[in-house]
Structure formats: C-alpha cells, structure tokens
Amino acid sequence: MRLARLAATCLALSAALPSRAERPRVVVDAPDFHPLPVAVAPFLAEGDAHAAAEATEVVRADLARSGLFEVLDPKGFLADPGEGLAPASIKFSRWADVGAEGLVKARVRKGAEGFSADLRLLEVRAGRELLARTLPAADARGLGHRIADEVVRHYTGERGIFRTRIAAIRKTRDGRELVVFDADGQNARVLLSEKALLLMPSWRPDGEELLVTSYRGGGPELWRYRFSDRSFRKVPTGRGAMGGSWSPDGSRIAFTAIEGNDTDVWTCNPDGTGQRRLTTSPALDLSPSWSPDGKRLAFVSDRAGTPQLYVMNADGSEQRRLTFQGSYNQTPQWSPRGDLIAFTARDERRVFDLFAVALDGGRVQRLTQDQGRTNEEPSWAPNGRMVAFTSDRGGLPQLVVSDPRGERQTVLTSGGELMTPAWGPLPAE
Amino acid sequence: MSGLADSAMLRRDRLWPAVVASMAVHLVLGLLALAGHGPAIDLGQQPITARLVRLGEPRPRELLPRKEEPPPAETGPEAAPAVAPPAPAAPAAMPGPATKAVASTKAPPKPAQERTGATSGTRRLGNVLAGMKQELAAGSPDGDPLGDSNEAVGDQYQAQVVRALKQNYRLPSTLSEKERLYLQGTIVLFIEPDGRVLRHEFVKRSGNSTFDEALERAVRDTRLPPPPAGAREAYRRRGLQVDFKI
C-alpha cells in the first residue's frame, strides 16, 4: 500500500519536472528555392586544348540554361588552373570562397575515334567526390552535353535533356524548311526545303520520324519525314488535315480535320487507317495534344464563343472546358509531367504571350510579358522542366527556352524566322 | 401678444435657481482642476502615423493574369546557329541578372532605425517601442498581413525566430519533386541571452545531405533576436526545437 503511494508520488513528481517534451517547438516551412551555385573548372586537356575549352563552355551554358544551377563566373575563380581531379589535390576552401557548392571538373582526352572525358563532380563544403565517370562522345560539343546531362542526373535523379533536339519550321525566301537544332539552338540541320507551306512538326516518340503539315499537294495534309532514309511520305487520311500529333506510345495520330468551315479533332493510325472522329460540335475544334499517359487529349474549341482550352478522353468522351480567363487561347501542349498545359493566349492588349494552366484547379500562370509582341507555340522538353517557344522580342521570331515559370529565359537562335518548334524525345541510352 | 410676454417673464423668473446651480458646478470643477485632479495627458506619447495606400483597381477575373514583375532580361543568343565551325564560338557567359539577384538577397537591408523618443516617454512606452523595433528588424517585407498582435510574448518571440529563419531557409532547385514530398529535418537551437546560437543539434536528419546542409546553413546564417527576459534560461539550456518542412 505504502509502496504504491510512493510510486504514485514519484510519477506525479516526474510529470511535474520539465521534460524534453516541454521544449518549445516551431515549424519553419515554405522554403525559397534557388539555383544551386556550381563552379565548372576549366577542363584539363590531353591533346586538344581547344576541345577542352569548348566542352567547358558547353557545360556552363547548359547548366545555366536549365534554371537549376547558378553557374559561377570563371573570372572570379581563385584556384590554380592546373589543379587536378583527385579530391586530395583540390583546395576546396578556394572554391568555397567563390561561393561554389558543387564543383565540376573533367579531363578531356582526344582518342583515335572521338573524345572522352574523365568527369568528377565534387561537393565543396564536405570536400568529397560525388561522382566519377568516363564519358565518350564524337565531338567536343557532344561531350559537353553528356557531362551536363550527368550532372543534372546526379542532382535531380532525372535524365538531362541536353542531348535532345528541337525541330522547327524556318521561313525561306520562296517557301519553308524543316530544321532540326540541338537543344541549345546550335548545329542547325535542314531536313527539307519546300516551296509550299510547311507547318507544325511533331516527333514520333522514338525520335525516328517527324509528322509535318505540308501543302505540297495543294491543301493541308499530314506527311511523315523519316530520318534514316530522309523519305517524305503522305499519311493518306483522305481529308484536309493539319497539326498532327503522335500519341505517347506511337500507335495513334491525333489531328485537326478540315471540312468546309468546320474543323474537328480526329485520330487515326500512323498509316491513315482506323480513323475516328472525336468532336462533333459545329464550332471549331482543333489543335489536339496528348496527355503523357495517352488517355486524354487537350484541344481548342470556340463552342462557347471564344477559343478556349478543353480536355477530353482519347475516345472523345467527357469533354470539359479548362480555361475561363482570356478570350483567345490556343496551341495547348500537355506537359510530360502531366500537371500543366502550356498555351498561347492573346491578352486584352492584343499581344500574344505564353501561359500555363494547371490541370488540377485550372489556375493560369503567365510565363512571358512585355517581351516582344508575340510569344507563342510552346513545346515541352521531355523532362517537363523547360519549355521552348518562338518570340519576336529581338526582331524576327526566334527560338527561346524557359523554365515552366518563365523566370529564366534564353534566346537560342539568331537568324531567319522560326515557327512552331517541337522539342524531341530523350535519346536512347 | 401680452399673454406670450407674460409667459416669458414668468420663465425668466423661474430660471434663477438653474443659473445658480450651474455656476456652483463650474466653480467646483474649476477648483478641482486647479487642485490637479484632471485627466492625465501623457505629453511624451509618440504620434501614431497612418499612411493611406492606393490599392488600385482589382483585375477583372475574366482577364488573363499579369505578372507582378516581368521576367528578367533573357540571356543569349549564345552564338550564331547554323553549322558551327570549330572556331572558339564561346557561348555567352551565362550567369544572368536573375542569379545575381538571388546571390545579393543574402543580406536584406535593415529597416531604418526608428527614433525611440525616450526623452519624456514612460519606461513602459519605451519597452513597447523597443519591442516594435525588434519586430521590424526581424520582420520581412512580405510578412503575413494577418499577423495577430494578440500573441503572448513567448509566442511572439517564436514567431520572430520563425520569420528570421525563413529568410535564410533556401533550398537548391535541384531537389526533385519526389524528394520535396518527404524531406524534413529537426534541429534544436540553444539560444544565448543575446540571441546568438552557439550550439545546435540535429534531432532528426533527412538523410539527404543537400537538404541537411541547407538547414545547417540557415541556422548558421540567421541572427536571432534576444529571447524575452523570462525565458532566457530556458532557451539557453533547453533550447528551441525547429521543424523544417517543405
């Protein structure tokens, strides 16, 4: 009995004593996300100093353009330019002094067949190696893109997009040409040069073909360009067709069919068979874009009086309106992440700008503003972390890439007049 | 006519007692005032300055949104496109104005020191002003406009700590969305009476070294306000537990 009372007293006492649970506690949330400061040390060269310098510049430009990194100005570097790759030989304090958190180093070697690089990624504060790889590439630019892809993959766990391509249509004096750029706007290759109109390329998901709208036959029709043999063949739909878009699994094509003054969204097999009409309204229905899972389509319709974005299932069921702001919304492009649809809209000042609407909740975000009179035709990078579009901010429309919030934009090209860009898929690994 | 004059005369006669009573009351009040029992007026009180701000017309809902600030000037073009010869076509250096701005926000400008007006104000008023000053120093321009002034002093201190830490709670954009879903860490800060944190201790690490390092940096870079007088010992010895979330 007494023992029990003693125990009870002890319990009461211990409860009265300040315990760890009494420590005041606060929550800090909503961090500010900022680009990670990285230093890209001038790459060491074995044989070809020029290639090493070029690869260094490519890596710096790629990382900065991605919006994920703050690439530090090499002019401020304090380290010895000949510093080696091994952590033991690196004076990390000198890199910390310039504000670097990550450090990219490489030794570029020229071999009998192309180049290779020993890449080292280091954590400056801890003074340790994060990544060591030997990467091959055919040329110095390709090597730079490979290194940048590896760095992005290390930090984000996702594949980088620096070795992808962007297709676009370029105006020529007497027609149009189909051009493919590297993802940094360099290395333009003309695939086709036509006297007739060419429009709206779309990549087959494996990157082997491009679907293009061509007026070669007099009216708008879908044509397929194949890279392997440079062939250009019509998709026999038997009707006026434009703006073809390959489904994510490559099995279907969605397009806008034109009949008189009406347009509707249809799908068919890549050979033109198995056609199916998805919209039937007498209003204009056009510009289909697949969801990443291939189960839904975004499109434009003016059935409510003004062009607005709509979504529907891939069989045409459950059509619902997505945008309620603005009076001229067009060219929807579904993000590969699935959460956003980027589009072009004309605002109340009658300028065209880029926007993105969230599938969940329909909130509209603006990407461009007061940057030329026309920013249009968005196309997502395959990782959904960047979007390409054309902008006339510097004169004739050029290719621009941006992060999905429009905070970091880079003009990639500086010649000709470009339109309807299409960002290609990731290369096979 | 004469009836009216009569009644007026009659009333004037009757007014005398009222006039006498009024004079007596005034006399008493005057005497009281002379004796120094009047309502106290604190001449040292600081004026309250209110400023009117034009809010502007709200943007109609049916219009597309506008950015508060247009995007920063873009970089590039990197170099001429077309078949690039292997000349040193160095792409333009990339660190643009955006990233510079991020780096320079490290030290937010402190609001101008306010005059305390300690010449004739009471000690209490001085304390209140000092508290306000402290809050100003720790506050952020984008602070919560619905902030509650009825918080107890202890809560107020914790709110100040949260606000100060938030200013330095920066994470690299490289953290993937998947990681952002679960990353969190808990640190106990042992706060000296002058606000310095000489010792901190991880109660729970996230396991992601980038994230954990960012938390350490936030703690190291943040100057906390001194704890309130009654709680100094507790904050120094027992500490304050901070849960960092995304």
Q: State the Cα–Cα distance between residues B88 and B74, nearest whole angstrom.
A: 23
Q: Per-residue b/e over A125-164, b at no fewer than 16 CB within 10 Å?
A: eebebebeeebebeebbbbbbbbbbbbbebbbebbbbbbb
Q: Does B183 touch chain A (CB under 8 A)?
A: no
Structure tokens at A252: 């279907």
Asked if B171 and A53 come within 8 Å (Cβ–Cβ), the reply is no
Asked if B95 and A406 come within 8 Å (Cβ–Cβ), the reply is no
Asked if B243 and A345 come within 8 Å (Cβ–Cβ), the reply is no
Sheet holding B240-244, edge to edge: A25-28, B240-244, B185-191, B197-204
Please tell me whether the peptide bond between B77 and the residue prior to it is cis, using omega within 30 degrees of 0: yes
Q: State the Cα–Cα distance between residues A34 and A37, nearest whole angstrom.
A: 9
Asked if B81 and A68 come within 8 Å (Cβ–Cβ), the reply is no
Flag the least confident range among A6-15, A158-167, A337-346, A357-366.
A6-15
Q: Is the pLDDT of residue B6 over 70?
A: no
Pairing of strands A25-28, B240-244: parallel
CATH of domain A165-423: 2.120.10.30
Minimal CA separation from B191 to chain A, in Å: 12
- Residues present in chain B in total: 246
Q: Does A118 touch chain B (CB under 8 A)?
A: no
- What average pLDDT does this structure show over A416-429? 93
Model pLDDT, residue A135: 94
Structure tokens at B106: 């490290």
Q: State the Cα–Cα distance between residues A239 and A257, nearest whole angstrom.
A: 7
Q: Does B197 touch chain A (CB under 8 A)?
A: no
Who wins on pLDDT, A247 or A48?
A247
Nearest to A165 by CA among A330, A414, A350, A412: A412
Asked if A406 and B74 come within 8 Å (Cβ–Cβ), the reply is no
Minimal CA separation from B134 to chain A, in Å: 19
List B54's β-bridge partners, or say none: none
Minimal CA separation from B123 to chain A, in Å: 30
Q: What residue of B is the nearest CA neighbor of A346?
A: B64
- What average pLDDT does this structure show over A246-270? 94
Q: Is the pLDDT of residue A15 over 90?
A: no
Helices (H), chain B: 2-35, 97-104, 123-138, 153-167, 177-182, 209-221, 232-237
- pLDDT, tens digit, for every residue of A94-130? 999 999 999 999 999 998 888 999 999 999 988 999 9
Q: State the Cα–Cα distance between residues B152 and A399, nearest whole angstrom.
A: 56
Q: Does A89 touch chain B (CB under 8 A)?
A: no
Interface of A with B in 133-192 (CB under 8 A): 140-141, 152, 155-158, 181, 184-188
Structure tokens at A291: 């969801």
- What average pLDDT does this structure show over B1-12? 55
At B114, the pLDDT band (50, 70, 90 cuts) reads: very low
- pLDDT, tens digit, for every residue of A273-326? 999 999 999 999 999 999 999 999 999 999 999 999 999 999 999 999 999 999
Minimal CA separation from B199 to chain A, in Å: 16
- What average pLDDT does this structure show over A147-171? 94
Who wins on pLDDT, A157 or A207?
A207
Asked if A24 and B71 come within 8 Å (Cβ–Cβ), the reply is no
% of residues, chain A, pLDDT over 70? 95
How far apart, in Å, are the Cα atoms of A294 and each of A117, A209, A250, B56? 39, 19, 10, 45
Give the one of B81, B154, B244 whose C-beta lies nearest to A415's C-beta: B81
At B8, the pLDDT band (50, 70, 90 cuts) reads: low
Q: Is the pLDDT of residue B123 over 60?
A: no
Cite the residue boundaries of each domain of chain A with CATH code 3.40.50.10070.
Answer: 36-156
Q: Does B188 touch chain A (CB under 8 A)?
A: yes
The alpha-carbon radius of gyration of chain B (Å, integer) is 33
Interface of B with A in 71-110 (CB under 8 A): 71-72, 74-84, 86, 88-96, 98-99, 102-103
C-alpha B152, offset from chain centre = 16
Q: State the Cα–Cα distance between residues A194 and A192, nearest whole angstrom.
A: 6
E strands, A314-417, where? 320-321, 329-334, 340-346, 352-358, 364-366, 375-380, 387-391, 398-402, 409-411
Q: Is the pLDDT of residue B38 over 80?
A: no
Residue A221's contacts (CB-CB under 8 Å, 6 or more residues apart) are: A213, A214, A215, A234, A235, A237, A240, A241, A242
Nearest to A224 by CA among A259, A267, A176, A272: A272
Q: What residues in B contact A125, CB-CB < 8 Å? A: 213
Class of domain B123-138+151-244: alpha beta
Interface of B with A in 150-169 (CB under 8 A): 154, 158, 161-162, 165-166, 169
Flag the least confident range among A420-424, B59-63, B128-132, B197-201.
B128-132
CB atoms within 10 A of CB A212: 28
Q: State the Cα–Cα distance between residues B24 and B7, nearest whole angstrom.
A: 27
Who wins on pLDDT, B116 or A39?
A39
Q: What residue of A is the nearest CA neighbor of B95?
A: A71
- What average pLDDT does this structure show over A151-177? 93
User: Domain segments of chain B: what residues?
Assistant: 123-138+151-244
Q: Does A42 touch chain B (CB under 8 A)?
A: no
In the chain, the amino acid numbered A243 is G
Is CATH 3.40.50.10070 correct for A36-156? yes
Phi-psi region of B33 (alpha: psi -120 to 50; beta: other; left: phi over 0): alpha
Structure tokens at A293: 């899972």
Give the one of B71, B172, B245 whose C-beta lies nearest to A27's C-beta: B245
Q: What φ, ψ does residue A210 adopt, rounded to 5°? A: -125, 135
Give the one of B90, B91, B102 whose C-beta lies nearest to A70's C-beta: B102
Q: What residues in A contact B82, CB-CB < 8 Å? A: 188, 415
Flag the least confident range among A36-40, A104-108, A266-270, B40-44.
B40-44
Asked if B174 and A36 come within 8 Å (Cβ–Cβ), the reply is yes
Asked if B94 and A60 come within 8 Å (Cβ–Cβ), the reply is yes
At B70, the pLDDT band (50, 70, 90 cuts) reads: low
Asked if B99 and A53 come within 8 Å (Cβ–Cβ), the reply is no
DSSP label at residue A166:
E
Minimal CA separation from A152 to chain B, in Å: 8
Give the one of A33, A72, A186 whose C-beta lies nearest to B173's C-beta: A33
Q: Is the pLDDT of residue B69 over 80?
A: no
Q: Does B143 touch chain A (CB under 8 A)?
A: no
CA angle B86/B92/B98 to nearest 5° reads 155
Q: Does A398 touch chain B (CB under 8 A)?
A: yes
Minimal CA separation from A345 to chain B, in Å: 8
Q: Of A19, A20, A34, A324, which to mutate for an interface test with B (greatest number of B Cβ within 10 Å)?
A: A34
Q: Does B15 touch chain A (CB under 8 A)?
A: no
Flag the least confident range among A196-200, A390-394, A425-429, B24-28.
A425-429
Q: State the Cα–Cα distance between residues B161 and B219, nearest whole angstrom.
A: 11
The alpha-carbon radius of gyration of chain A (Å, integer) is 27
In the chain, the amino acid numbered A78 is L
Model pLDDT, residue A147: 97
DSSP label at residue A374:
B
List A212's β-bridge partners, or say none: A223
- What average pLDDT does this structure show over B170-183? 83
Q: Within 13 Å of residue A205, how many CA atoms lie on the same side as its CB?
A: 14
Q: What residue of A is the nearest CA neighbor of B61?
A: A325
Asked if B172 and A72 come within 8 Å (Cβ–Cβ), the reply is no
Give the one of A186, A345, A415 whose C-beta lies nearest to B84's C-beta: A186
- What average pLDDT does this structure show over B85-106? 39
Q: State the Cα–Cα distance between residues A19 and B197, nearest whole angstrom.
A: 22
- pLDDT, tens digit, for every residue of A351-398? 999 999 999 888 999 999 999 999 999 999 999 999 999 999 999 999
Asked if B62 and A324 come within 8 Å (Cβ–Cβ), the reply is yes
Model pLDDT, residue A288: 97
Model pLDDT, residue B81: 39
Asked if A30 and B188 come within 8 Å (Cβ–Cβ), the reply is no
In the chain, the amino acid numbered B185 is G
Q: Does A385 touch chain B (CB under 8 A)?
A: no
DSSP label at residue B91:
P
Q: What is the ipTM of this complex?
A: 0.72
Q: State the Cα–Cα distance between residues A38 and A120, nearest whole angstrom.
A: 13
Q: What residue of B is the nearest CA neighbor of A354?
A: B64
- What average pLDDT does this structure show over B219-230? 90
At B154, the pLDDT band (50, 70, 90 cuts) reads: low
At B102, the pLDDT band (50, 70, 90 cuts) reads: very low
Most confident stretch, A22-31, A192-201, B125-134:
A192-201
